[in-house]
Structure 1
Amino acid sequence: MNEEKKLIQAANGPSLEEINNTVAIPKNGSFWRNLLAFSGPGALVAVGYMDPGNWITSIGGGAEYGYLLLSVILISSLIAMLLQYMAAKLGIVTQMDLAQATRKHTSKGLGFVLWIVTELAIMATDIAEVIGGTIALNLLFGLPLLVGVILTIFDVLLLLFLMKLGFRKIEAIVMTLILVIMLVFCYEVIIAQPDLPAVLQGFIPQKQVLNHGQLTMALGIVGATVMPHNLYLHSSISQSRKIDRSDTQEVATAVRFATWDSNIQLSAAFLVNCLLLILGSALFFGHSEEVGTFSALFNALQDSSIAGAVASPVLSVLFAVALLASGQNSTITGTLTGQVVMEGFIHMKIPTWARRLITRGLSVIPVLLCTIYFGGNEQALDDLLIYSQVFLSIALPVSMIPLVLFTSSKKIMGERFKNPLWVSTLGWICAIALTVLNVRLIIETLGNF
Structure 2
Amino acid sequence: MMQNGRDLTAASRHAAVKKAAIGGAFLMAMSAVGPGFLTQTATFTQAEGANFGFAILICILVDIIVQLNIWRVIVVAGKRAQMIANDVVPGLGYLLSALVALGGLFFNIGNVAGAGLGLNVLFGIPVAAGAIISAVIAIVILIVRNALKVVDWTVQALAVIAVLVLVYMLCVTKIPYATAAVHTVAPTKIDFYSILTIVGGTVGGYISFAGGHRLLEGGAKGQADLKYVNLGALTGIGLASVIRVMLFLVGLAVVVAGTTLDPTNPAASIFKTAAGAFGYKFFGLLLFAAGMSSIIGSTFTSTSFLDYAVSGRSVKYRDALTIGFIAFATVVFVFIGQPAKVLVVVGALNGFILPIALAILLVASGRQKIMGAAYRHPLWLAITGWIVVAFMAFASVKTVIGFFG
TM-score, scaled relative to structure 1? 0.79
Structure 2 counterpart of 1:272, from 243, 247, 264: 243
Q: Note the 1:193-342 alignment, pairs <5 A.
A: 193-204=174-185, 206=187, 208=189, 210=190, 214-242=191-219, 251-285=222-256, 289-294=260-265, 297-298=267-268, 301-303=271-273, 307=274, 311-342=275-306
**How far did residue 336 of structure 1 move?**
1.6
2:205–2:350 contact (8 Å) kept in structure 1: yes
Q: Find out whether 1:430 has 2:379 as its counterpart.
A: no
Q: Distance in 1 between matches of 2:205 and 2:391?
A: 16
1:64–1:288 contact (8 Å) kept in structure 2: no
Q: Distance in 2 between matches of 1:409 and 1:288?
A: 54
* Structure 1 letter corresponding to 2:173: A
Q: Distance in 2 between matches of 1:237 and 1:131?
A: 25
Structure 2 counterpart of 1:443, from 398, 401, 405: 401
* Structure 1 letter corresponding to 2:382: S
* Structure 1 letter corresponding to 2:162: I
Tell me which residue corresponds to 2:6.
none
What secondary structure does 1:331 align onto? helix
Q: Which moved more, 1:116-125 or 1:179-188?
A: 116-125
Over 3 Å counting, the alpha-carbon distance change for 1:202 and 1:49 in structure 2 is farther
**How far did residue 255 of structure 1 move?**
0.8
2:80–2:213 contact (8 Å) kept in structure 1: yes
**How far did residue 52 of structure 1 move?**
1.4
**How far did residue 152 of structure 1 move?**
4.4
* Structure 2 letter corresponding to 1:440: K
What secondary structure does 1:203 align onto? helix
Q: Which moved more, 1:267-276 or 1:97-106?
A: 97-106
Q: Note the 1:145-184 alignment, pairs <5 A.
A: 145-160=127-142, 163-184=144-165
1:59-88: per-residue Cα shift (whole Å, max 9, x none)?
222222212112222222222222222222
Tell me which residue corresponds to 2:322.
356
Q: Distance in 2 between matches of 1:33 and 1:156?
A: 24
2:204–2:347 contact (8 Å) kept in structure 1: no
Q: Distance in 2 between matches of 1:293 and 1:183?
A: 25
2:175–2:253 contact (8 Å) kept in structure 1: yes
Query: Which structure 1 segments of 5+ residues have no match?
Result: 1-23, 246-250, 372-379
Q: Find out whether 1:66 has 2:37 as its counterpart.
A: no
Q: Find out whether 1:96 has 2:79 as its counterpart.
A: yes
Tell me which residue corresponds to 2:117.
135
Tell me which residue corresponds to 2:367.
409
Tell me which residue corresponds to 1:124.
106
Over 3 Å counting, the alpha-carbon distance change for 1:284 and 1:291 in structure 2 is farther
Q: Which moved more, 1:112-121 or 1:50-59?
A: 112-121
**How far did residue 38 of structure 1 move?**
4.2
**How far did residue 299 of structure 1 move?**
5.5
* Structure 1 letter corresponding to 2:250: L
**How far did residue 27 of structure 1 move?**
6.8
Question: RMSD of the TM alignment (CA)?
Answer: 2.8
1:77–1:226 contact (8 Å) kept in structure 2: no
1:51–1:129 contact (8 Å) kept in structure 2: yes
What secondary structure does 1:164 align onto? coil
Query: Which structure 2 segments of 5+ residues have no match?
Result: 1-8
Tell me which residue corresponds to 2:4.
none
Over 3 Å counting, the alpha-carbon distance change for 1:216 and 1:138 in structure 2 is farther
**How far did residue 34 of structure 1 move?**
8.4
Q: Find out whether 1:382 has 2:311 as its counterpart.
A: no
1:232-253: per-residue Cα shift (whole Å, max 9, x none)?
333322124446x6xxxxx444
What secondary structure does 2:339 align onto? helix
Q: Distance in 2 between matches of 1:160 and 1:421?
A: 38
1:97-155: per-residue Cα shift (whole Å, max 9, x none)?
111111233233x4433332222111132123122112212222333344444444434
Q: Distance in 2 between matches of 1:412 and 1:319?
A: 46
Q: Distance in 1 between matches of 2:19 and 2:133?
A: 36
1:185–1:276 contact (8 Å) kept in structure 2: yes
Over 3 Å counting, the alpha-carbon distance change for 1:226 and 1:369 in structure 2 is same
* Structure 1 letter corresponding to 2:85: T
Tell me which residue corresponds to 2:5.
none
Q: Distance in 1 between matches of 2:339 and 2:219?
A: 43
1:39–1:258 contact (8 Å) kept in structure 2: no
Q: Note the 1:51-90 alignment, pairs <5 A.
A: 51-90=34-73
* Structure 2 letter corresponding to 1:396: L
Q: Which moved more, 1:337-346 or 1:386-395?
A: 337-346
Q: Distance in 2 between matches of 1:136 and 1:205?
A: 36
The count of residues paired between Structure 1 and Structure 2 equals 395
Q: Distance in 1 between matches of 2:20 and 2:214?
A: 14
**How far did residue 334 of structure 1 move?**
1.8
**How far did residue 328 of structure 1 move?**
0.8
**How far did residue 354 of structure 1 move?**
1.4
Over 3 Å counting, the alpha-carbon distance change for 1:383 and 1:37 in structure 2 is closer
2:141–2:147 contact (8 Å) kept in structure 1: no
Over 3 Å counting, the alpha-carbon distance change for 1:288 and 1:125 in structure 2 is farther
* Structure 2 letter corresponding to 1:321: L
1:60–1:277 contact (8 Å) kept in structure 2: no
* Structure 2 letter corresponding to 1:328: M
2:138–2:292 contact (8 Å) kept in structure 1: no
1:42–1:265 contact (8 Å) kept in structure 2: yes
TM-score, scaled relative to structure 2? 0.87
* Structure 1 letter corresponding to 2:225: A
* Structure 2 letter corresponding to 1:401: A
Q: Distance in 2 between matches of 1:339 and 1:418?
A: 31
Over 3 Å counting, the alpha-carbon distance change for 1:86 and 1:56 in structure 2 is same
Task: Give the fraction of aligned pairs with identical amino acids, expressed as a percent.
Answer: 18
